[in-house]
Structure 1
Amino acid sequence: MSASKAMKWITGSCEIILAIPILGAAIVIGTGYSVLGLMFILHVITLILSSRDRESIYGSVLGIITSLLAWIPFVGWFLHLITGILLMVSGGQKSRYPSNHIYPQ
């Protein structure tokens, strides 16, 4: 498993946890919203790794947007849920380019 796929599973799992209505709100508020900053950093790292490995980046891009907007109560819940699902789906997809493939220039 590539580092980008592992990061997609990790960030996707964190987003799903943050989407649990009372638990996610307690985590976000209890950390003084700093967990959103941590998730922003993790999504940027995942985006860089996914770009390097030529994998889909839409989950990480939405994760960055989610980290910026998740302080809005119901919008945050919805964005955490959608982001978590997209990251899990993209983390489970097969790579377009196998490791022994010569990449097109």
Structure 2
Amino acid sequence: MNRTTILKWVTGISEGLLAIPFAGGTFILSMSWTPLLFMFALHTITLIFSIKDKQFSSGSILGMITSFIGAIPIVGWIMHTITALVLLIDASVETKN
């Protein structure tokens, strides 16, 4: 398993945790939206590595968008869920290859 696939697993699981109703939102609010900034940086790093490894990651771009939209309560929850699914499916496909 290469570094891009590992980063997709990590970001997908992290997005999934942020998508847990009430718990994810409470965590984000209690940390003054810092987790969204952290996730933006992690998605950016994943995107850079995926481009270098020639494994383009649309999930990372979606995650970067989600980091900005995540401040909106219901929309953020939906976006975190979608992003987690995209990243985890992408990572599982790469793991099987």
Normalised-by-shorter TM-score class: over 0.9
4+ runs deviating over 6 angstroms: none
Query: 5+ unaligned residues in a row in structure 2: which ranges?
Result: none
The alignment of Structure 1 onto Structure 2 pairs a total of residues equal to: 96
SS at match of 1:93: helix
CA distance in 2, matches of 1:88, 1:49: 17
Instruction: Give the TM-score normalised by the residue count of structure 2.
Output: 0.94
Question: What is the aligned partner in structure 2 of residue 30 from structure 1?
Answer: 30
CA distance in 1, matches of 2:89, 2:55: 12
Question: What is the aligned partner in structure 1 of residue 94 from structure 2?
Answer: 94
- Listed one character per residue, the Cα deviations across residues 29-79 of structure 1 (whole Å, up to 9, x for unaligned) are 010001000000000000011111111311000000000110001110000
Query: 5+ unaligned residues in a row in structure 1: which ranges?
Result: 99-105
Instruction: Give the TM-score normalised by the residue count of structure 1.
Output: 0.87
Structure having the higher Rg: 1
Question: What is the aligned partner in structure 1 of residue 48 from structure 2?
Answer: 48
Overall identity of the aligned pairs, in %: 40
CA RMSD of aligned residues (A): 1.3
